[in-house]
Amino acid sequence: MKVTNTVSELQNHIMEENASPVGFVPTMGALHEGHLSLVENAISKCPVIVVSIFVNPAQFNDINDLKNYPRTIESDINMLGSILRPADIVFIPDVKEIYPETDTRKFQFGNLDNVMEALHRPGHFNGVAQVVSRLFDIVNPDIAFFGLKDFQQLAVIKALVKQINSKVKIIPCPIVREKDGLAMSSRNRLLDPEIRKNVPVIYKTLSVASGMISECDIPEIRKFVKESINGTKGLSLEYFEIVDDTELIPVSRKEEMMPWKKYYGCIAIKAGNIRLIDNIIIGLV
């Protein structure tokens, strides 16, 4: 694999390979098996791929969250080196390389800007849209790979691609979980060890909630989720919503669910000082 820090060198490498399709896996580093599953998926479909590692300041509305975000470049490169091919490229730019000038663009995503993560992290998705559109311009990929764990982010990126008339094809990839069910996340390593013992209840709760839809209405499901999470030591519920998979419009009653749509239960919790998100398809587990 090749490792580069500059846009010009990256683009030269891509041009030299002269291969198609070009795959792209954007990351913020602190890599784990979930990231590697995206990379492996990309490798299976593309003769050359780019993996970016860039902690994007524009998508952090909490300065402490940005400061504390884990940065493990050396181990990230070692992990990628174990699976990437000679033609593949790791792109590790600094902020000035991505944003040579201040990015003042404002994106509008309709309902996606008004639910769940958007309410709890103001400005987050505008920052995501800024960096992803910028990276798409730099890499010019044919296919980009994103994890389903960041469910709302995936919906935003699909909307972004339409909005900017991009040719890139977005491939969603399944959530990768720890053996105890916890969705893999770079933030997991920041969890207090005592609280870490309790977080498997998140996926267990989601799994039960998914199955409840056949016999229970949504208020009863929401009540169960709230009691299950808040009743677990060290955990507190920020939100649990059942939404469709495109506009992410929350439903409050089962009768609102359309049979031709897929619905997901999306959750955010605080585990001590660490914020975790997860989701599950409703009714088909």
Is 109 in contact with 246 (CB distance < 8 Å)? no
Buried b (16+ CB within 10 A) or exposed e, 255-273: eebeeeeebbbbbbbebbe
Active-site hit among 32, 35, 120, 124? 35
Using a 10 angstrom Cβ sphere, with 0-12 exposed, 13-18 middle and 19 or more buried, the burial of residue 90 is: buried
Cβ(276)–Cβ(185) below 8 Å: yes
Residue 253 is classified by DSSP as: S
The residue among 282, 273, 271 whose CA lies nearest residue 200 is 271
**Is 35 considered catalytic here?**
yes
Scan for tokens 């770079």, then name that residue: 186
Burial classification of residue 108, based on how many CB atoms lie within 10 Å of its CB (0-12 exposed, 13-18 middle, 19 or more buried): exposed
CA distances from 98 to 14, 31, 52, 182 (A): 17, 20, 11, 32
For the chain, the helix, strand and coil percentages under 3-state DSSP, each to the nearest 5: 40, 20, 40
Catalytic residues: 35
